[in-house]
Structure 1
Amino acid sequence: MALKRMGIVRNYEEIRNFTIAIIGIGGVGSVTAEMLTRCGVGKLILFDYDKVELANMNRLFFQPNQSGQHKVDAARETLQFINPDVQIDANNYNITTMDNFDHFMKTLRTGNLQNGPVDLVLSCVDNFEARMAINTACNELKQTWFESGVSENAVSGHIQYIEPGVTACFACAPPLIVASNIDERTLKKEGVCAASLPTTMGIIAGLLVQNALKYLLKFGDVSNYLGYNALNDFFPRMTMKPNPNCDDSYCCRRQNEYIIQQRNQPTLSTKTDDDNDESIIQHEDNEWNISVVSESIVESDHNINVAEGIRYAYEKPKDENESMKTSDQTTTTTSNVSLEELMKQMKNL
């Protein structure tokens, strides 16, 4: 409540009205759930299908006596002890299967305190398939969500704000990860699982919850993409617009809806007599339609240049039509060369 008294948040009591779904109750997800519980959120909906193991004891959350329990059940038990006022809904299943995905969609659509859509979805999973399932569901439901992750070497991580149609979805481009300047081939060793550090996971969980609170309670600036590199305490940021050629049809549909919505918004009225002449800067001549934009905004398409310290997880394969076009151009260029010129080129080889 000190945030309200100090003027940071207008009405912190609104936190009691929000419902947040958390998918993945692992290193990031479990700490995220605990932070939101201590913040007094109205309802948490948890999704996971793994069990607690002794190897999970560096998660800042699970206890040795919970070994063998399903993660969602162990989390609900701990969270209700921390704050019994928070309603906890535990779902112990894999969201990527067909039957479970339908229930997952229904829960997101009707899971809030008034049986309506949830207010926010937080992805804390550690695999590509689950992220794509969340992305598909949120695009179809027009549901805002945050994606998060920690690298396999445990020294970097990120969070990403995704609003269908407004920002790039998870399928718009290869996922962005923080470049750690380590040869990734040295991380893949037979019989060795991914590393984990409670420090890195706690930092990413903190960044995730902080931005979730800013989004829900409407204070500060929500980061579109925020990375963290523990090796040099580097926090790269960037913004990425949606790809109009996204493979997800619902993403393209949401983009069109957003464009129509922007067009239908009333434009700012012209200057009235009460306006201060000095408050509006006018340029009489602007033949080239030059505009000034913030340096923090990255104009992007599906081939954008990412910010310093960030890279794509993989190179997206080229579209077949584009490859055929390139091939045709090469053929056309070659066919215009005379036979004598081709013979000269062959002799020079």
Structure 2
Amino acid sequence: MLATIYILFLAGAQSGIFNDVGKIRTFTVAVVGVGGVGSVTAEMLTRCGIGKLLLFDYDKVELANMNRLFFQPHQAGLSKVEAAEHTLRNINPDVSFETHNYNITTMENFTHFMDRISQGGLEEGKPVDLVLSCVDNFEARMAINTACNELGQIWMESGVSENAVSGHIQLIIPGETACFACAPPLVVAANIDEKTLKREGVCAASLPTTMGVVAGLLVQNVLKYLLKFGTVSYYLGYNAMQDFFPSMAMKANPQCNDRHCRRQQEEYKKKEVEQPKVEVVEEEEEVVHEDNEWGIELVSEVTDAELQAASGTVPDLPEGITVAYTIPAEVTSGDTVEETEQSLEDLMAQMRKL
């Protein structure tokens, strides 16, 4: 059955848009936060045949989570990572899973978290290929940001707003693009203080539709990044009220509060200087006409000989009928036009009599 599932994925992907889709099995992705967005993200990656998934979460499945996708009522009470692994392994046992049921923001767990994303690749001892942040609080996002800045690990951030009708995804390349400390996405996009998102005693609204959309955008960006096709979005927002998808790219802030981010920026600048600059030779375009803005050119499909033959000699017409137009004979050197002293009015009157 597994082979059939994977063959179906290959059949859907082999459309010329991207090649070597089988390489998806060689990648490792860490998903931090297995909630409304993270669980659906993990499922999509599993169905795509990802090589290895690392799942991090400290929460348990509750019946209150049933308004979201993925989890089922009989899983209530289980840790989210345990329930997720059980479901995902049944979907595709070919994927390698590694689960960690703890809060990454504590000192001890943070150290272990850094160790796993730097050593827990498909080949043990190598780093993961991508870290996905699907958490719902500021502290966890900052912990992921700090770890990835220190390790130089590329990651993608995602989130859904408290009112459940907007969200975003963001690609963060340490030193090259803005990190989460440089410019938190919701502060930029909606003028919202990220620290207020997870307040004590306040339960954020959730819609499976919004979370499904954000998860889909996130995984689509992951596939484009890993398999190198299409354009990878640096920042893509989603506003369900107007179906608005703002997109932008944010540069790293030289005064970022994260010292590891500033260090990564310096290293990125050094790499840019060392890379040879490719000179772009601009080809001059042929100007059809200086006043012809659109470059439009009219070409006759009738040759001069064909036009002359079509005109022929002036026929012998009845009185009162004249030929509207005939091709004039070529004027050779020495030929002159007979001068006349008639006025323009006289000539016009004479023509009207014909």
TM-score by length of 2: 0.73
Alpha-carbon distance in 1 for matches of 2:86, 2:226: 26
Cα deviation, residue 5, structure 1: 2.8
Q: Which amino acid aligns with 2:277?
A: T
Q: How does 1:287-298 map to 2 (within 5 A)?
A: none
**Does 2:45 align with 1:36?**
yes
**Does 2:133 align with 1:128?**
no
Q: How does 1:118-267 map to 2 (within 5 A)?
A: 118-176=128-186, 192-267=202-277
Deviations along 1:50-96, one digit per CA (max 9) or x if unpaired, are 00000001221000000000000000000000001011111000000
Cα deviation, residue 279, structure 1: 6.3
Q: How does 1:310-349 map to 2 (within 5 A)?
A: none
Deviations along 1:112-144, one digit per CA (max 9) or x if unpaired, are 111200000000000000000000000011000
Alignment CA distance shift 1:140-1:154 (3 Å): same
Tell me the C-alpha RMSD between the 2 structures.
Answer: 2.4
Alignment CA distance shift 1:35-1:74 (3 Å): same
Cα deviation, residue 180, structure 1: 7.0
Cα deviation, residue 266, structure 1: 1.1
Q: How does 1:2-17 map to 2 (within 5 A)?
A: 2=11, 4-17=13-26
Q: How does 1:69-148 map to 2 (within 5 A)?
A: 69-115=78-124, 116-148=126-158
**Does 2:283 align with 1:278?**
yes
User: Stretches of 4+ moved more than 4 A in 1?
Assistant: 177-182, 187-192
Structure 2 unmatched runs, 5+: 1-9, 287-354
Matched residue of 2:271: which SS? helix
TM-score by length of 1: 0.74
Deviations along 1:299-340, one digit per CA (max 9) or x if unpaired, are xxxxxxxxxxxxxxxxxxxxxxxxxxxxxxxxxxxxxxxxxx
Deviations along 1:220-267, one digit per CA (max 9) or x if unpaired, are 001111000111111111111000011111101111111111111112
Matched residue of 2:214: which SS? helix
Q: Which residue does 2:33 correspond to in 1?
A: 24
Deviations along 1:268-310, one digit per CA (max 9) or x if unpaired, are 2586xxxxx73699xxxxxxxxxxxxxxxxxxxxxxxxxxxxx
Alignment CA distance shift 1:177-1:201 (3 Å): farther
Alpha-carbon distance in 2 for matches of 1:268, 1:91: 46
Larger radius of gyration: 2
Contact residue 155 and residue 180 of structure 1 kept, 8 A:
no
Q: Which amino acid aligns with 1:208?
A: L
Contact residue 137 and residue 198 of structure 2 kept, 8 A:
no
Alpha-carbon distance in 1 for matches of 2:153, 2:200: 39
Matched residue of 1:278: which SS? coil
How many residue pairs end up in the alignment? 273
Q: Which residue does 2:4 correspond to in 1?
A: none
Q: Which amino acid aligns with 2:25?
A: R
Contact residue 147 and residue 159 of structure 1 kept, 8 A:
yes
Cα deviation, residue 3, structure 1: 5.3
Structure 1 unmatched runs, 5+: 272-276, 282-349
Alpha-carbon distance in 2 for matches of 1:114, 1:188: 36
Q: Which amino acid aligns with 1:229?
A: N
Q: Which residue does 2:6 correspond to in 1?
A: none
Matched residue of 2:98: which SS? strand
Alignment CA distance shift 1:269-1:225 (3 Å): closer
Alignment CA distance shift 1:179-1:266 (3 Å): closer
Q: Which amino acid aligns with 1:122?
A: L
Q: Which residue does 1:68 correspond to in 2?
A: 77
Alignment CA distance shift 1:74-1:189 (3 Å): closer
Cα deviation, residue 174, structure 1: 3.9
Contact residue 37 and residue 212 of structure 2 kept, 8 A:
yes
> How high is the sequence identity, in percent, across the aligned residues?
69
Q: Which amino acid aligns with 2:206?
A: S
Alpha-carbon distance in 2 for matches of 1:249, 1:180: 26
Alignment CA distance shift 1:270-1:37 (3 Å): closer
Deviations along 1:137-187, one digit per CA (max 9) or x if unpaired, are 0001100000000011100000011000000000113443586799xxxx9
Cα deviation, residue 6, structure 1: 1.6
Contact residue 157 and residue 178 of structure 1 kept, 8 A:
no
Alignment CA distance shift 1:122-1:189 (3 Å): closer
